[in-house]
Amino acid sequence: MELAPLLLLLLLLPAAAMAVAAGGEPVAAHPGYALGGAEEACGVAEAEAEAEALPAPERREEFDGGRIVDISHYYREDMPAWESAEGSGGFLRLARSMRNGSDIANFSELRLTAHSGTHVDAPGHVFEHYYDAGFDVDTLDLAVLNGPALLVDVPRDKNITAEVMASLHIPKGVRRVLFRTLNTDRKLMWKKEFDTSFVGFMKDGAQWLVDNTDIKLVVHCRG
């Protein structure tokens, strides 16, 4: 049986070009993933017992022939939130626990803004007429959001102006670009207090991009 491909590598805004927590041992995404060979994986005994009944699970680590590199930040309570000095705060709680009365499961509740951490903005986020017309995230083209992207280093002493865009010489035909800026060096995503001095696109830089490149997806770390 073919499962519908559900892989989304959303190269999201604002994303830092760093994902792997520094140091530490590599951690398997799931007990079924072997790190040092199948023999060492958790749950192998059960997996072998069930092997006759179940087809081997297909690991969808690839999309469209390319490797997926997840650059999204995991949610943390001290992850910066827009104009907040307090970070994102407690966004996860155990609403019902098996320890004190829930008889079938633990129920956790998430409460956070749609613009937390690594995310993609809907057209309706900043344009009222798009909002009124219902341009939600599901109106975005997944073919634009997925696929090879170019990582470009922006001069660390500048915001992204038309002049900076011109100096980057991004070739025609490139559709997805990750702009690595001073925000990454300053580790803004790791600072609880929102820093309004983050580097970003200036209006003329955005206009230059529209007028002179084939870029359809912009990824940057805002901090």
Ligand X SMILES: *[C@@H]1O[C@H](CO)[C@@H](O)[C@H](O)[C@H]1NC(C)=O
In this structure, are residues 116 and 88 in contact, taking their beta carbons and an 8 Å threshold?
yes
**119 Cα distance to chain centroid:** 6
Residue 40 or 195: the one with the smaller Cβ distance to ligand X is 195
- Confirm or reject binding of residue 37 to ligand X (CB under 6 A): no
Residue 66's CB is within 10 A of a number of other CB atoms, namely 12
What one-character DSSP code corresponds to residue 174? -
- Confirm or reject binding of residue 212 to ligand X (CB under 6 A): no
Facing residues of 218 across strands? 177
- Confirm or reject binding of residue 161 to ligand X (CB under 6 A): no
- Confirm or reject binding of residue 158 to ligand X (CB under 6 A): yes
- What part of residues 89-118 is at the interface with ligand X (CB under 6 A)? 94-95, 97-101, 106
Nearest approach in angstroms of CB 223 to ligand X is 11
What one-character DSSP code corresponds to residue 85? S
Q: How far apart are CA 161 and CA 154, in angstroms?
A: 10
Residue 67 or 203: the one with the smaller Cβ distance to ligand X is 203
Nearest approach in angstroms of CB 141 to ligand X is 30
Binding-site residue total for ligand X (CB under 6 A)? 14
- Which among 69, 141, 155, 83 is positioned nearest to 115, based on CA atoms? 83
Interface region with ligand X, contact rule CB under 6 A, candidates 51-59, 68-76, 157-165, 211-219:
157-165
Nearest approach in angstroms of CB 3 to ligand X is 26
Nearest approach in angstroms of CB 95 to ligand X is 6
Residues 6+ apart with CB under 8 A from 35: 26, 28, 41
Interface with ligand X by CB under 6 A: which residues? Answer: 94-95, 97-101, 106, 157-159, 182, 197, 199
